Amino acid sequence: MPKKLKLEGLDCASCAYEIEEALKKEGFEFALVNFATKEAVIEGDVEKAKEIIERVEPGVKVIEKGEHDHDHGHEHGEGGPRRALYFIIPSLMLFGIGVVLRYYYNMDNAFVFGIFTASYLLVGWKVLRSAVVNSIHGNLFDENFLIAVATVGAFLIREYPEGVAVMLFYVVGEFFQDMAVDRSRRSIKALLALKAEYANLLQGDGVVQVKPEELKVGDIILIKPGEKVPVDGVVIEGTSTVDTSALTGESVPRTVKEGEEILSGMLNLSGVLKVKVTKELRESTISRILELVENASARKAKTEKFITRFAHYYTPAVVGLAALVAIIPPLVYGDPFSIWLYRALVLLVISCPCALVLSIPLGYFGGIGRAARDGILVKGSNYLDALHGATVVAFDKTGTLTKGVFKVTKIETRNGFSEEEIIRFAALAEANSSHPIARAIKDAYGGDIKENLMEYEEIAGHGVRAEIDGVEVMVGNDRLLHRFNIEHDTCRVKGTVAHVVINGKYAGYIIISDEIKEDAPLAVKELKRLGVKKVVMVTGDNKDVAAEIARQIGLDGFYAELLPEDKVRVIEELEAEKGDGKVVFVGDGINDAPVLARADVGVAMGALGSDAAIETADVVIMDDKPSKLPRGIRIARKTQRIVWQNIIFALGVKFAFISLGVLGEATMWEAVFADVGVALIAVFNAMRILR
């Protein structure tokens, strides 16, 4: 079973990649290091993993999740960078004094050298220490080592003001970069800060505050106004409005009352609720959401994998180029060694790939976090990438495009009977039935069913016959009419139909339809606006019903009367029409699990959907609204745009400065901008997805 390790002090994105590679080389079948959450997920010996991580990155402290689970965001995220100011400010003051003495008073003696050295050590001692420790452990291409070599090299060729300036600029840049990354992490964590801190457990006549983890199925808890719902349950007493925005992204509060389900992560706004626990915390909605989002980074997008591989070769290549620049021109052309050594040092500064390795995972993590805030759970950045390329979308019908709730949509009269008579007698005849069609007829009637039901008979496969205050009423299908030789003219009515016969005379029929979700037509319209080539329905319902639903919603086509294996076959047929894009299937039932797994992207409805569908799906829509799918595609496309902006920007600047460095047109100051400045800009750009 995978185990999670917290990595305190993991401040370098390329270091995360090095740790992950080292774990895999040492025989761990599964190893993932998530820089965005500062976590490692492994399968194997925890103690061995700790040893490897601390060997590769001695500055990282490894803590098992569970032994130290509270949030370190303030202490390490905010306090760490701020503590750096205690060294940066004095160093800046000394650097200023040194610059004035050297360039204004033309002093260049041991005293001035001492001032620059003190300024350098104040701000750079941590970088130098990390460089030494990492080089002892064989990590020669880490950013600390590269900056240390470049700045010490500057001192050796008597460019110590520039050496200090580069170290200062680098550390200040790292300070702002750490602040930006921590802010991004806090923003993402804030989107998922849904867990209740405590629960009010009823014990005897009193109420005891306990941790949500301690609650068992069947426990009775009180949820007061202003409190978060700790676990999933059923309301057994009370009425209140609840804020579901953390789960569904919807700002409109929902009313819950006795007998209704309430989910963990919701916020109680008004009344006191007495709730019976139906799921323990580890199985509740909130835990499932947090686990899905936290583990999303395990499934990396192709772009992310390419960049980490690229960075692995890029840095050694630039370091090799720097070595050639330092050695070959002085030997071939007889130029002064110091000129070409300086250019080589500039290349060393540029060679760190942090802008790429840092901003791209943050971009995807931000996209997943943004989608979660809107009630769309994406299980991995690879699925976010796939969603971006959706060209064919197939919807299941019942529970996906429709509410799965039957409703009377039309009443047709015959032989002088009124609509009121038909619906009243039909409702009275169906008084004892719990069939969904019977419930729809009774709901449409809406009145009290108090008439004297003297006789009742259920005719299997046909309908019911009842006597109400001396009036004989029959309600059923077309076969019922033929069985009793009732004269009628309605054999070919489309849809689900209940025929009504009163005292042996045909009175008319009632059409019952599965109610279409209000936003289903909008979802189809938005998908087409986004460039999706084909939007279809795949259902097990009959062709007439499917045709009517498809017409009302505006679908491009439908496939009806399908078994689960038939749905898989249809998705395989649609694969031929997708072009360079992806096939997305949206469903909710346990019978949809095979087709959800077969599609390029399986999307499950999370509120009413079966556990099998939710587990199999790649994306989960928490409030069952089809219109969330186009919103998810928009988030995926925005994430993709930002990721590629960062790649093009970072590589463009890097290669430009490599060229300028070789030609001697770039200084170390500019090289630091190419490293830290680009990383900072890329991180801020990645954070835009959260807005």
Q: Please determine, for residue 374, whether its predicted confidence score (pLDDT) is greater than 80.
A: yes
Do 188 and 36 contact (CB within 8 A), yes or no?
yes
Mean pLDDT of the region 128-136: 82
pLDDT band at 350 (very low <50, low <70, confident <90, very high): confident
Do 339 and 661 contact (CB within 8 A), yes or no?
no
Mean pLDDT of the region 654-676: 83
Mean pLDDT of the region 106-132: 90
pLDDT band at 223 (very low <50, low <70, confident <90, very high): very high
- Per 3-state DSSP, the chain is made up of helix, strand and coil in percentages (nearest 5) of 50, 20, 30
Residue that finishes a domain, picked among 515, 550, 581: 515
344 and 490 in a single domain? The answer is no
Instruction: Check residue 75 and give its pLDDT.
Output: 39
396 has catalytic annotation: yes
Q: Which residue has the higher pLDDT, 336 or 545?
A: 336
**Identified catalytic residue from 178, 232, 396, 624:** 396
Q: How far apart, in whole angstroms, are the C-alpha atoms of residue 223 and residue 12?
A: 43
Q: How far apart, in whole angstroms, are the C-alpha atoms of residue 512 and residue 407?
A: 5
CATH number at residue 235: 2.70.150.10
**Would residue 676 count as lying in a domain?**
no
CATH number at residue 538: 3.40.50.1000
Q: Please determine, for residue 79, whether its predicted confidence score (pLDDT) is greater than 50.
A: no
549 and 632 in a single domain? The answer is yes
**Would residue 559 count as lying in a domain?**
yes
**Would residue 417 count as lying in a domain?**
yes
627 and 526 in a single domain? The answer is yes
606 and 509 in a single domain? The answer is no
Residue located via tokens 């569904």: 248
CATH number at residue 426: 3.40.1110.10
389 and 483 in a single domain? The answer is no
632 and 521 in a single domain? The answer is yes
**Would residue 323 count as lying in a domain?**
yes
* Mean pLDDT computed over every residue of the chain: 82
384 and 419 in a single domain? The answer is no
Q: How far apart, in whole angstroms, are the C-alpha atoms of residue 559 and residue 394?
A: 10
Residue that finishes a domain, picked among 484, 515, 546: 515
Q: Which residue has the higher pLDDT, 299 or 399?
A: 399
Do 161 and 99 contact (CB within 8 A), yes or no?
yes
State which H helix or E strand residue 117 sits in: helix 110-136
Do 417 and 502 contact (CB within 8 A), yes or no?
yes
- Maximum mean pLDDT: which of 81-95, 485-499, 514-528, 599-613: 514-528
Of 214-223, 378-387, 497-506, the one with minimum mean pLDDT is: 378-387
pLDDT band at 605 (very low <50, low <70, confident <90, very high): confident
* SS3 letters across 571-586: HHHHHCCCCCCEEEEE
Instruction: Check residue 74 and give its pLDDT.
Output: 40
Residue % of the chain over a pLDDT of 90: 23
**Would residue 507 count as lying in a domain?**
yes
Mean pLDDT of the region 106-126: 91
Whole-angstrom Cα Rg for the chain:
34
Q: Which residue has the higher pLDDT, 278 or 432?
A: 278
Of 453-457, 536-540, 622-626, the one with minimum mean pLDDT is: 453-457
301 and 252 in a single domain? The answer is no
535 and 602 in a single domain? The answer is yes
**Would residue 612 count as lying in a domain?**
yes
pLDDT in tens, 146-195: 788 888 888 888 888 888 888 888 888 778 767 766 665 665 555 555 67
Instruction: Check residue 687 and give its pLDDT.
Output: 79
Do 548 and 495 contact (CB within 8 A), yes or no?
yes
**Would residue 137 count as lying in a domain?**
no
Q: What is the DSSP string of 586-643?
A: EE-SGGGHHHHHHSSEEEEETTTS-HHHHHH-SEEETT--TTHHHHHHHHHHHHHHHH
Residue that finishes a domain, picked among 456, 489, 515: 515
Helix/strand/coil for 303: helix
pLDDT in tens, 233-278: 999 999 998 887 666 655 567 888 999 888 888 889 888 999 999 9
Which ranges in 375-493 belong to alpha helices (H)?
381-388, 419-429, 436-445, 478-483
Q: Please determine, for residue 84, whether its predicted confidence score (pLDDT) is greater than 80.
A: no
Nearest alpha carbon to residue 526 among 515, 518, 535: 535
pLDDT band at 558 (very low <50, low <70, confident <90, very high): very high
pLDDT band at 67 (very low <50, low <70, confident <90, very high): very low
State which H helix or E strand residue 177 sits in: helix 160-191
Instruction: Check residue 97 and give its pLDDT.
Output: 94
Q: How far apart, in whole angstroms, are the C-alpha atoms of residue 624 and residue 622?
A: 6
Q: What phi and psi values does residue 143 have, to the nearest 5 degrees?
A: -60, -35
525 and 610 in a single domain? The answer is yes
Enter the pTM of the model: 0.69
Q: Please determine, for residue 207, whether its predicted confidence score (pLDDT) is greater than 80.
A: yes
Q: Please determine, for residue 451, whether its predicted confidence score (pLDDT) is greater than 90.
A: no
542 and 468 in a single domain? The answer is no
CA angle 347, 144, 72 (to 5 degrees): 140
**Would residue 429 count as lying in a domain?**
yes
295 and 226 in a single domain? The answer is no
CA dihedral 361, 364, 369, 370 (to 10 degrees): 140
Quote the longest CA-to-CA distance of the chain: 120
Of 100-114, 300-314, 465-479, 560-574, the one with minimum mean pLDDT is: 300-314
Cα 490 from chain centre = 51
Domain span at 29? 3-70
Q: What's the structural domain count of the chain?
A: 4
